[in-house]
Amino acid sequence: MITLVKQETFKLLHKKSTYAVSATLLILMTLFAVLSRSHPKYWGQPQDQFVQLFTGINWIVLFMIAACSSIIAMEFQYGTIKELLYRKYYRGEILVSKWITMLLYSIYFYVVAFVWSLLMKVVLFNDKFQLSDKYSGGHTVMETQWLGIVGSFLTIWLVLSLVLLLANIFKSTAAAISIGIIGYFALNIVSSIMFVLMQKWEWLKWNPLNMMNLSNQLVSSSFHKMTLLSTPEMIAGSLVYTAIFMAISYVIFKRRSV
Amino acid sequence: MTDAILNVEHLNKNFGRKQVLKDVSFSVQTGHIVGLVGPNGAGKSTIMKAVLGLFNYSSGKITIDGELVSPTSHKAMDKVGALIEYPGIYPFLTGYQHLQLFSKESTSKDQIMDIVDKMKMDSYINRKAKTYSLGMKQKLGIALALVDRPKFVILDEPMNGLDPQANKDLRKIILDLAKQGTTFLISSHILSELEKLVDDLVVIDKGQIVYTQSMAELESGSKKLLVLKTSDDAKAKDVLSQNGYQLDDGDKLSIIETEQTKMADVIKLLSDNGVDIEDVQHVHSDLETSLLNLLKNDKVKES
């Protein structure tokens, strides 16, 4: 298994896009940090920007959706799937090695964005706010950032498990990326309708889109009036949905003829 | 050598309702080069994929070196190298990186460079694969199959896209490796190329094995003809058949050669009867002819 993860990492590290994406993330974060310093009225208060990693969290979602769909779909696109499969390894191992690689990749993104956000804070905003300042719901700025990171990590993986499944079904990078991205951003549009419907039919609170509000709820506990779920219920729900999507991918991948 | 590295027994495979493999059984002897031939869509790639554990089969048994092969049982694949259909290539990696990526950890850098050298890929091995031509990709695919020096190599249409020189190089590599004990299962449409390589032949048509023999037997089973051009073919035909020569059907005047057929006798007989011989040709039927006959007869048998 370690060999397989190493091989997946080897491929990832030899793609130019891997480096381009990391650089883009840092550039975008810097850009939003600078804008927030010069025009906080339009581009958000420094603390607000800091807790969401200077928009880094949103970019990480996009980049991870692209990475997850391509790590599966590229093998079908390039015809390399056969080469991967007719070796001594089991099919399940091949798929799991890809998941592990993506998990490591997502952790890498968060670490980079976190470190960069601290750097931005020190360089640009040392005079504006302190990490120990009270932010919202009794949490400090630092705590809020951490809760946001944990929440978004869980929701991102809920989305990614679905993207990994779609890439497996459609064997096409484009389809998996577009559905993943549209799905992620459609949440903001449909959530208001969803909340109304949930008032009427309470069981709808268990739908996967509702789980995506986890970060919001972690930061402000009053959010559970909207989601109708307690925080532990949401965490469990996200994990269960992620596990379900992963399990379906696993079964499909094992049965597929290539 | 009598031990078989590959054993396929009563293999059946359906794609939906269509049965693509019907009770396929054959074995590949260790150290032999075996050709798998048949018309398009006969099931050659399907057999190879099943042997590589790429998909489920409805019934039957495949073993490589005594170990069972199925999609859930891949241990035997450690001894196998393969190229199926077209080479799978990552455009963002160089040729060398492909070999690094897919070779075992026990395969040394020297072993990688050895196959690069033999395949004459040195000049572009460090270039990104997206710049490769079809032939270069094909060579890389073959190199990937051979780099770990497996005991058993499966090559599907390895000559695809190769120029004549590369073809010759590949033939030499295969023959050298076979001498050292590597077993090959090769499919190809280019029968004249295959003819120069294989020890045994497995012929498949419509998902069924129609022929498994050694090349030598196939060749000895084929007709040798003495094709004549004379001043009066009709008269010559009469004279020859009256004198006990067997003639082949067809427009041309051709005698089926046997041990007893002597050119001098034929010439004397004809000139005694006033027929002048203008041209004489020996014709051996090649693999292509033998194979086409085989497939033709097989269809007759089926109907």
pLDDT digits (tens, 9 = 90+) for B99-134: 999 988 888 899 999 999 999 999 999 999 999 999
- Determine whether B142 is exposed, middle or buried from the number of CB atoms within 10 Å of its CB (0-12, 13-18, 19+): buried
Distance between B279 CA and the closest CA of chain A, angstroms: 54
This prediction's pTM: 0.83
Confidence of residue B299 (pLDDT cuts 50, 70, 90): low
Q: What is the pLDDT of residue B298?
A: 62
Are residues A74 and B93, on separate chains, in Cβ contact within 8 Å? no
Is the CB of B84 inside 8 Å of chain A's CB atoms? yes
Place B138 in a pLDDT band, splitting at 50, 70 and 90: very high
* Residue A215 burial (CB count, 10 A): 22
- Which residues on A lie below 8 Å from B99 (Cβ)? none
CA–CA min distance A90, chain B (Å): 6
User: Among the ranges A100-104, B75-79, B206-210, B288-292, which has the highest mean pLDDT value?
Assistant: A100-104
Taking all residues of chain B, what is their mean pLDDT, rounded to a whole number?
85
B54 touches chain A (CB under 8 A): yes
The answer to whether B268 and B176 are in contact (CB under 8 A) is no
Q: Give the integer Cα–Cα distance in Å for B130 and B149.
A: 26
A74 contacts in B (CB within 8 Å)?
90
Better pLDDT: B17 or B133: B133
Low-confidence ranges of chain A (pLDDT < 70): none
Percent of chain B with pLDDT over 70: 93
pLDDT over threshold 50, residue B1: no
The CATH number that domain B223-284 falls under is 3.30.70.980
Cα radius of gyration rounded to whole Å, chain B: 24
Q: A-contacting residues of B 233-252, CB under 8 Å?
A: none
Residue B219 has pLDDT above 70, yes or no: no
Q: Which two tokens stand for residue A233?
A: 């219920």
Residue with tokens 């009867």: B273
Of B56, B74, B93, the CB nearest to A88: B74
Residues of chain B with CATH 3.40.50.300: 4-215
- Set of chain A residues whose Cβ sits within 8 Å of the Cβ of B92: 14-16
pLDDT band, very low/low/confident/very high, at B183 (cuts 50, 70, 90): very high
Residue ranges matching CATH 3.30.70.980 in chain B: 223-284
Query: Per the structure block, which two tokens stand in for B147?
Result: 């780099």
Closest CA to B197 of B38, B35, B28: B35
What residues form DSSP beta bridges with A129?
A: none
Residue numbers in B near A85 (CB within 8 A): 52-54
Q: Tell me the angle at which helices B164-179 and B134-146 cross, rounded to the nearest 10 degrees.
A: 10
**What is the C-alpha to C-alpha distance for residues A177 and A175, in angstroms, rounded to an integer?**
6
- Out of A11, A14, A257, the one facing B55 most closely (by C-beta) is A257
Contact of B65 with B79, CB cutoff 8 Å: yes
Q: Both tokens of residue B215? A: 């090349």
Q: How many CB atoms lie within 10 A of CB B99?
A: 25
Task: Tell me the per-residue pLDDT of B64-92, one tens digit each, with 9 for 90 and over.
Answer: 988 888 888 888 888 999 998 889 999 99
Question: Looking at the predicted structure, is the pLDDT value of residue B135 above 80?
Answer: yes
Query: Residue B116 has what pLDDT?
Result: 93
Name the residue among B183, B176, B173, B141 with its Cα closest to residue B160. B141
Q: Rounded distance, CA B8 to CA B247, Å?
A: 41
Domain ranges, ordered by start, for chain A: 2-255
Residue from B90, B134, B151 whose CB has the most chain A CBs within 10 Å, to mutate:
B90
Task: Average the pLDDT over B266-287 and give the result.
Answer: 81
Touching check for B41 and chain A: CB below 8 Å? no
For range B53-71, the mean pLDDT: 87
pLDDT tier at B221, thresholds 50, 70, 90: low
The pLDDT, as a whole number, for residue A190 is: 81
A2–B contact, CB cutoff 8 A: no
Q: Is A257 on the interface with B (CB under 8 A)?
A: yes
The amino acid sitting at B255 is I
Helix (H/G/I), strand (E/B), else coil: B257:
coil
Min Cα separation B181/chain A (Å) = 21
Q: Is the pLDDT of residue B254 over 50?
A: yes
Average of per-residue pLDDT values in chain A: 88
Contact of A85 with chain B, judged by CB distance below 8 Å, is answered with yes
Q: Is A15 on the interface with B (CB under 8 A)?
A: yes
pLDDT, mean of residues B252-281: 82
Whether the pLDDT of residue B302 is over 70: the answer is: no
ipTM for this prediction = 0.83
Q: Report the SS3 class of residue A76.
A: helix
Report the residue from A80, A86, A258 with minimal CB separation from B77.
A86
CB B64 within 8 A of CB B76: yes
* Residue B303 in this model has a pLDDT that exceeds 70: no
Rounded-to-integer distance, Cα A160 and Cα B56, Å: 29
Distance CA(B4)–CA(B186), nearest Å, equals: 16
Counting one residue from chain A and one from chain B, the pairs whose CB atoms sit within 8 A come to 68
CATH architecture of the domain formed by B4-215: 3-Layer(aba) Sandwich (3.40)
Residue with token string 């092969």: B69
| Amino acid B300: pLDDT | 47
- The per-residue pLDDT for B177 is 93
Contacts of B239 (CB under 8 A, 6+ apart): B269, B270, B273, B275
Chain A CB contacts of B54 below 8 Å = 82, 85-86, 257-258
